[in-house]
Homo-oligomer: A and B are copies of this chain.
Amino acid sequence: MSFRPLSRRAYRHLSQRTFSSSTRALLADHVRIIEVGPRDGLQNEKTSISVETKVELVRRLARTGLETIEAGSFSHPKWVPQMAASDRVLSSTLSEPPASPHPITYQWLLPNSRGLDNFLKVMDDASPWATGYPTPPPSPQHESGPAPNPSTSAPDSTDAPPQAPASNSRNGHSHEVSIFLAATESFSKKNTNCTIQESLDRFAPLMAESRRRGFPVRAYISVALGCPFEGPDTDPHRVADLAVKLLEMGADEISVADTTGMGTAPATKQLLRTLKEAGVRNEDLAMHFHDTFGQALINTMVSLDHGIRAFDSAVGGLGGCPYSPGATGNVATEDLVYTLHSLGAKTGVDLDEVSRIGGWITGEIGKGNGSGAGRATLSRLRREAGES
C-alpha cells in the first residue's frame, strides 16, 4: 500500500531557480497537471450537464496524457447540483475504465464522512470485479458454512458485506480522495458553517478511514491568497500552520488554492517561502490558481521558480468565480500546458487534444471557450485542416 504515489516521489530536481533561470535554462523537469475541470470546473458553472456528458468528459481527458483527473464530488445534490451522480461517474470508471496512454489517478472530493461512505459503497460494490469473482451475496450470519468471500482475510470470516483489500488500485488505475478547508475563519463559516478547527476535527476520522482503506488523501486549502470576506492579504502563516496540521494528520498532498484569484506574484512568493520555512516540502504541494484577475500564469512561474512541480487546472477554463459573478475561474489547462512546454518542461499532455476537449465541453455548457491558448490552438487546427 503506497500513500505517496511514485509519480510524486520522482521529483529529485528541486533546486531553487530564479525566474530568470526558468526562462534561460529549459526546465526539462516533469510537471504534473491535476485536471480539475470535471469537478472544480463544472461545480462552478451555472449550467448542470448530464451524467453521460460528465462520463464522456472524463473519458476524453483520459486519452490526452493527463495522469491525474479530479472526476467528481460526493456532495449532496441539493447543495451542489452540478455534482449530482458523481457516484455514477465513479462506477462508470470502475466498470469500464477509460482508455488512456498511462495509468490514471482519479480524485474524488469528499465534503464529509457521508460522502466517504457513499464513495466507499461504490468502491466496494465494484471491487469484486477487480479480482474476477462475481458479486457475492451478503454473507449469511447463521448458515452452516461460510459463503464465498474474495476477501484476503481468513476464509472462515463471515463479515458482511465483503470489502476490497486495502488498496486504491482498480483495474490498473488509482483512486484518491480529497477534502477541503479554508485559510480564513470567515470563509470557513460562510462556506461550510463551521470553524477551521471544527473542520479539522470533522475531517480527522474521514482521513483516518480513507488511509485505513488505502486511499491517499489530498487536502485543499482554499482562499490561501485572498478571501472574498477578509480581503487579499490572507496571512501566509495561517496557511502554513494548516498545511502542517493536515500533513501530520496524514494528508498526502496539499493543494494551495487561490480561490478568488486575488493572488499576486509577490504574495505567492511570500506564501511559498512561508510554507518552506514551516517545513512543508515542495513535493507535498500542488498550486491551484484561479485566473480571475489574470494572474494565474504569473503565479505559476513564481511557483516553478520555487520548485513547485504540480499544478491544478481546468480544461477550457471551466469554472467561474462564485464571488465575482461573470468573472473567470480556474486557470485553463491549455494555457498551463502551453506555458510549461514553452519552458521546456514535460507534462506528457497533448495540447491539441486538450484544446479539442476544451472547445467541445464549453460548447456543451453553453459558454465561450475560456482558454486563450485553447482557442488559438483550435484556430490553428482548423486552418491546418483547411476549414478556414
Question: Chain A: residues with CB nearer than 8 A to chain B?
Answer: 18-20, 22-24, 26, 261, 264-269, 291-295, 297-298, 301-302, 305, 321, 324-328, 332, 335, 338-339, 342-344, 368-369, 371-373, 375-376, 378-380, 388
Cβ–Cβ contact B343 & A265, under 8 A: yes
Cβ–Cβ contact A294 & B372, under 8 A: yes
Question: Which one of B18, B24, B321, B378 contacts A266 once the chains associate, using CB atoms below 8 Å?
Answer: B24
Q: Is the interface of A mostly helix, strand, loop or mixed?
A: helix
Cβ–Cβ contact B293 & A338, under 8 A: yes
Contacts of A292 in B (CB 8 A): 372-373, 376
Question: Which one of B269, B297, B325, B379 contacts A379 once the chains associate, using CB atoms below 8 Å?
Answer: B325
Question: Which one of B266, B324, B327, B373 contacts A23 once the chains associate, using CB atoms below 8 Å?
Answer: B266
A302 vs B339: C-alpha distance in the bound complex, in angstroms? 13
Q: A273's closest neighbor in chain B, by CB? A: B24
Q: How far is the CB of A333 from chain B (nearest CB, A)?
A: 11
Cβ–Cβ contact B376 & A321, under 8 A: yes
Task: Please indicate which of the listed interface residues A20, A268, A368, A378 has the most CB atoms of chain B within 10 Å of its own CB.
Answer: A20
Closest 5 CB pairs of A and B: A19-B19, A264-B342, A294-B335, A294-B372, A324-B379
Contacts of A332 in B (CB 8 A): 294
Q: How far is the CB of A114 from chain B (nearest CB, A)?
A: 32
Contacts of A23 in B (CB 8 A): 19, 265-266, 268-269, 302
Q: How far is the CB of A300 from chain B (nearest CB, A)?
A: 8
A264 vs B343: C-alpha distance in the bound complex, in angstroms? 8
Contacts of A297 in B (CB 8 A): 294-295, 297-298
Cβ–Cβ contact B18 & A375, under 8 A: no
Q: How far is the CB of A32 from chain B (nearest CB, A)?
A: 20
A-B residue pairs in contact (CB < 8 Å), sample of 5: A19-B22, A19-B305, A26-B266, A326-B378, A327-B376
Contacts of A294 in B (CB 8 A): 297, 332, 335, 338-339, 371-373
Q: A382's closest neighbor in chain B, by CB? A: B325
Task: Please indicate which of the listed interface residues A24, A338, A344, A372 has the most CB atoms of chain B within 10 Å of its own CB.
Answer: A372
Cβ–Cβ contact B373 & A293, under 8 A: yes
Given A292-B376, A298-B297, A376-B293: A266 and B342 interface contact (C-beta under 8 Å): yes
A375 vs B302: C-alpha distance in the bound complex, in angstroms? 24
Question: Which one of B24, B298, B321, B380 contacts A301 once the chains associate, using CB atoms below 8 Å?
Answer: B298
A332 vs B266: C-alpha distance in the bound complex, in angstroms? 21
Cβ–Cβ contact B19 & A293, under 8 A: no
Cβ–Cβ contact B20 & A324, under 8 A: no
Contacts of A373 in B (CB 8 A): 292-294
Contacts of A324 in B (CB 8 A): 375-376, 379-380
Given A20-B269, A305-B20: A339 and B376 interface contact (C-beta under 8 Å): no
Cβ–Cβ contact A388 & B20, under 8 A: no
Cβ–Cβ contact B376 & A261, under 8 A: yes
A326 vs B363: C-alpha distance in the bound complex, in angstroms? 14
Contacts of A327 in B (CB 8 A): 372, 375-376, 379
Given A23-B265, A266-B23: A293 and B326 interface contact (C-beta under 8 Å): no
Contacts of A301 in B (CB 8 A): 19, 265, 298, 301
Q: How far is the CB of A70 from chain B (nearest CB, A)?
A: 22
Cβ–Cβ contact B265 & A372, under 8 A: no
Given A264-B342, A342-B264, A379-B327: A335 and B269 interface contact (C-beta under 8 Å): no
Q: How far is the CB of A376 from chain B (nearest CB, A)?
A: 4
Q: How far is the CB of A237 from chain B (nearest CB, A)?
A: 18
Task: Please indicate which of the listed interface residues A19, A268, A291, A298 has the most CB atoms of chain B within 10 Å of its own CB.
Answer: A19
